[in-house]
Structure 1
Amino acid sequence: MRKLTWCFLWLFWQFLPIVATAEPSQKFVVVVEDSDNYPFEYRENGRWTGYHIDIITSITKKLGWQVEWLAIPWPRAKSALEKREADAISYFITTPGKEEKDLVLLEDNILHHPVGVFFIQAKRKKELRYTGGGLEPLAKFTIGIIQGDVTDDFMTRYYPHQKVDKTAKNYEQLFKMLSENRFDLGLAHVYALRSISRTHPELSKQLTMIKTPFASSNAYIAFAKTTKGRENAQKFAKVFEAFKKTSSYFEITKKYGLESFSITKP
């Protein structure tokens, strides 16, 4: 018995340095908008879930990072990185052709390709004959957009003469105002009404989507343009690129019914 005890103590002291010097997991704080962006980022039973959440969780787990979610209003997202309150921003959509000087945006860190479409009151759908291209056919319509959103920047940059209403501050306000005839059309991503209808089912009955795409862009996980931010962006991109070729990636896209949003094909 004494011999077994000494053997146990010897093994304990041999492995103690390994346990004592093991590096703790790196904390990795990701900004998400404090809103319901179903099916990409939303709360369920008090916990964050969704297409982006599952992907980021999978990648950070492989990197040995302990991910935490910082839910804040969208206008504060960049400042959270500047103040070093967070390491990255999820669901960062860029306007085509616009350079983000303070962020690292890598092609391999694109989470999905958002598609912008128009929404209109169901009873007014016959008034609109839009087949894509420019906005010349919509010159007489006032388009509602979210103030400070990528659609705001896009319209200002490429269609400065189009009549727009920038009163709405989120999708809930945008669709409620559209249902109240505050403007003729609402511009949002293709899943926006589906997201809001989870809490406001009446809006899905009053409004309808014009399926012809108007514009598309890229949704990134964006990193701060610092030495550490660049390193983390490269590490994330390397693992993400390999992850896109696995069955786990496609299981996530199928889980949320987003096969068409996958960056690669199985």
Structure 2
Amino acid sequence: MKLKTVLLLSSLLLGSWVNAEPLRIVSEEWPPFIYAENGHIKGADKDVTEYLLSQLGYQVEWSLMPWRRVLREAEDGSADAILDIAPHPIHLKTYLFTDEPLSSHETMLFYAMDRPLAYRNIDDLSGLVVGVSPGYLYNNHRFVTSDTFRREPAPTFEANLQKLVRGRVDLVALSRPVGVYTSRALGIDHRVSYHPIPLSHSEFYLVFNRTSTWEEPARAFSKALKAFKKTDAYSHILRQYHLESVDGKLTLATPD
């Protein structure tokens, strides 16, 4: 059944790319939702998006880059769309959001297991250094504006987690599935964990340039995505990336 699903998706994709309209989507590496591996861009949200857009008559060109450049390129029209962005008020004014989220997950505070720190709320971060990603808003106003602790940016998730285990930061703010995936890939998942209280929760969307050109494609994509989530093909993509839904939020399944 899995092989049949993969073959069906592949045949539909190949068939729909004939005379397809080009569409350039930018994003930051955000595994397991979108990332590069052996020269190929893959990921759960990437695969879902590419499949649905192919059915709507588009051939997607993918580009991965730092997040601030992602935002710039979509805003100035160098790119047509962004994959996986949260509906912060600033972004809602700037970009045309689709109606249906691709994924939903929580941002957690990761800590080194040999240096556990208590965390209940933002007040507990006083005097600490927290690793963050440049340009991220974290859907938590107090977290991004408080002057009682220091937010220290790092260029990649890998760099943030390496700084954590080396004691250069006290905590790291990361999406739960992204943090778990990255720590496993680095081979340090036995050295880090995360507090059970989320820093924030966000849904993540495909967004287009805010022009009338993309209004109908955005509506069509939303409708197609909502229907696709009910299919076996969608469930297969999640399983392929070891993702599972827990209380409506995506997390990485525990390895066998």
Unaligned runs of 5+ in 2: 1-17, 250-256
Conserved 8 A contact 1:244-1:263: no
Q: Determine the structure 2 residue equivalent to 1:101.
A: 93
Paired with 1:157 and 1:179, the residues of 2 have a C-alpha distance of 22
- Give the direction of change, closer, same or farther, for the CA distance of 1:262–1:105 in structure 2 (3 Å limit): farther
Deviation of residue 261 (structure 1)?
6.6
Q: What does 1:199-218 align with in structure 2 at a 5 Å threshold? A: 199-201=185-187, 203-218=188-203
Matched, 1:192 2:178: yes
Aligned length: 232
Q: Residue 117 of structure 1 is aligned with which of 105, 108, 113?
A: 108
- Give the direction of change, closer, same or farther, for the CA distance of 1:198–1:119 in structure 2 (3 Å limit): closer
Matched, 1:27 2:22: yes
Secondary structure of 1:166's partner? Answer: strand
Larger helix share, 1 or 2: 1
Q: What does 1:146-165 align with in structure 2 at a 5 Å threshold? A: 146-151=133-138, 154-155=140-141, 160-165=146-151
Q: Residue 234 of structure 1 is aligned with which of 216, 219, 231?
A: 219
Matched, 1:92 2:85: yes
Q: Determine the structure 1 residue equivalent to 2:71.
A: 78
User: 1:5-52 CA distances to partner (integer Å, 9 max, x unpaired)?
Assistant: xxxxxxxxxxxxxxxxxx92111211122x3x2211112332111101
Q: Determine the structure 2 residue equivalent to 1:252.
A: 237
Matched, 1:45 2:27: no
Secondary structure of 2:55's partner? Answer: helix
Deviation of residue 187 (structure 1)?
1.1
Deviation of residue 213 (structure 1)?
2.2
Q: Determine the structure 2 residue equivalent to 1:62.
A: 55
- Give the direction of change, closer, same or farther, for the CA distance of 1:261–1:232 in structure 2 (3 Å limit): farther
Q: Determine the structure 1 residue equivalent to 2:132.
A: 145
Paired with 1:171 and 1:214, the residues of 2 have a C-alpha distance of 17
Larger Rg over CA atoms: 1
Q: TM-score, normalised by structure 1?
A: 0.77
Unaligned runs of 5+ in 1: 1-22
Deviation of residue 184 (structure 1)?
1.5
Deviation of residue 140 (structure 1)?
4.6
User: 1:81-109 CA distances to partner (integer Å, 9 max, x unpaired)?
Assistant: 234332110011244x555311012331x
Deviation of residue 149 (structure 1)?
1.4
Instruction: Report the residue type matching 2:118 in the other structure.
Output: R
- Give the direction of change, closer, same or farther, for the CA distance of 1:83–1:99 in structure 2 (3 Å limit): closer
Instruction: Report the aligned-residue RMSD.
Output: 2.6
Deviation of residue 156 (structure 1)?
5.2
Matched, 1:181 2:181: no
Q: Determine the structure 2 residue equivalent to 1:6.
A: none
User: 1:123-144 CA distances to partner (integer Å, 9 max, x unpaired)?
Assistant: 122xx333x5x32334353322
Conserved 8 A contact 2:129-2:152: no
Paired with 2:90 and 2:143, the residues of 1 have a C-alpha distance of 9
Q: What does 1:166-177 align with in structure 2 at a 5 Å threshold? A: 166-177=152-163
Instruction: Report the residue type matching 1:136 in the other structure.
Output: D
Instruction: Tell me which moved more, 227-236 or 99-108.
Output: 99-108
Instruction: Report the residue type matching 1:129 in the other structure.
Output: A
Q: Determine the structure 2 residue equivalent to 1:8.
A: none
Paired with 2:133 and 2:158, the residues of 1 have a C-alpha distance of 10
User: 1:240-262 CA distances to partner (integer Å, 9 max, x unpaired)?
Assistant: 12212222112212222222179
Q: Determine the structure 2 residue equivalent to 1:15.
A: none
